[in-house]
Structure 1
Amino acid sequence: MATPLTETEYTKIATDTAERFIDSYYSALSGARGSIKTFYVPTITQDNGRGLPNITYNGELFLDAASFQDRWEKEMPRTHVEVQSVNVHVLNPTTKPTEGVKRKDAERSMSLIVQVSGSMRIGQPKEGPLRGFSDSFVLVPNAELGKQDHGRQWLIQSQTFRFVV
């Protein structure tokens, strides 16, 4: 039987996950726009009519990751993101039963809330005005990750991005 994770271990896993995820995600927004939709959970409609992922970008709701990627690829000028702070908390330490599972699986059975603040330069990557932003994510383990661990380990279930004054 696997030993339950300690609070210190939860914190370290959450911090490492958030840092890697944020680096990868904002790099994709700047340079690998064709991969943006791979950062989100598959689109589903819940019984109450609401869907996942829940993506709100500066007040506009996107119904799926593909439409968000399409908008980003076709209408958003080149961007450069500078992350200034990342704050992460374990939202739910166990999204599925972990008793008797391997430690690696227990480490990936939590959901995280990640808060990011920084600046984004739009149109001119090296010069031009920076706009402050705040971005919040709920990350969940990728349930479809294969045995070979190909693909993203964590996916965005909910995101709210907002430029700040």
Structure 2
Amino acid sequence: MTTHKDPKLINIATDAARHFVDTYYPALNHERQTLEAFYHSNASIAWNGNAISGGAAFSSFFATMPKSFYDPQSFDAQPLVSDGMGSCSVMLIVSGAVKYGESNEQRGFSESFVLKPEPGSQSKFKIAAQTFRIVTA
């Protein structure tokens, strides 16, 4: 049985996390119309206390948010259970700063994701679960 200590799965998790961070946050900042594609259709999302189900609902919800700029400053990834086909789900924790609207005030944020590989792919992942929080002072 493959475990989370498997170097191959650790590399998969790290590569998936890096690719995700490098594509997801630019989409949040500049290409909101593409957000649905990052999510499984039944993804479970908790966005600063708002429960949302699925990528389409999240995309609609986020379209109502003011213009924003997310600056992910650190992330950590951990492989979860192997899918038995050479890949695994990934736990991803991201922290950084965000600005909303025309304000220059930066707020901290923290979020966690469970990324699941798409069926038939060992390297393409979508969000299965997400929790986002603004850091309060």
Given the two structures, how large is their TM-score scaled by the length of structure 2?
0.88
The SS at the match of 2:66 is coil
Aligned to 2:50: 60
Q: Which runs of 5+ in 2 are unaligned?
A: none
Asked whether the 8 Å contact 2:41–2:56 carries over to 1, the reply is no
- Rounded to whole Å, the distance in 2 between the matches of 1:161 and 1:15 is 20
RMSD over aligned CA atoms reads 2.1
1:78 matches 2:67: yes
Task: State which of 118, 121, 130 in structure 1 corresponds to 2:96.
Answer: 118
- Runs of 4+ in structure 1 deviating by more than 6 angstroms, as ranges, are none
The Cα of 1:12 is off from its aligned counterpart by 2.0
Aligned to 1:11: 10
Q: Higher strand fraction: Structure 1 or Structure 2? A: 2
The Cα of 1:13 is off from its aligned counterpart by 1.9
The SS at the match of 1:136 is strand
The Cα of 1:144 is off from its aligned counterpart by 6.4
Task: Give per-residue Cα distances to partners, 1:43-74, cap 9 Å, x unaligned.
Answer: 3xxxxxxxxx101100100122111111211x
**Total equivalences in the alignment:** 134
The Cα of 1:137 is off from its aligned counterpart by 0.1
- Rounded to whole Å, the distance in 1 between the matches of 2:76 and 2:54 is 25
Looking at CA atoms only, which structure, 1 or 2, has the larger radius of gyration?
A: 1
- Rounded to whole Å, the distance in 1 between the matches of 2:37 and 2:55 is 8
- Rounded to whole Å, the distance in 2 between the matches of 1:20 and 1:77 is 26
- Rounded to whole Å, the distance in 1 between the matches of 2:116 and 2:23 is 16
Given the two structures, how large is their TM-score scaled by the length of structure 1?
0.74
Task: Give per-residue Cα distances to partners, 1:21-53, cap 9 Å, x unaligned.
Answer: 01111111111101111111123xxxxxxxxx1
The SS at the match of 2:41 is coil
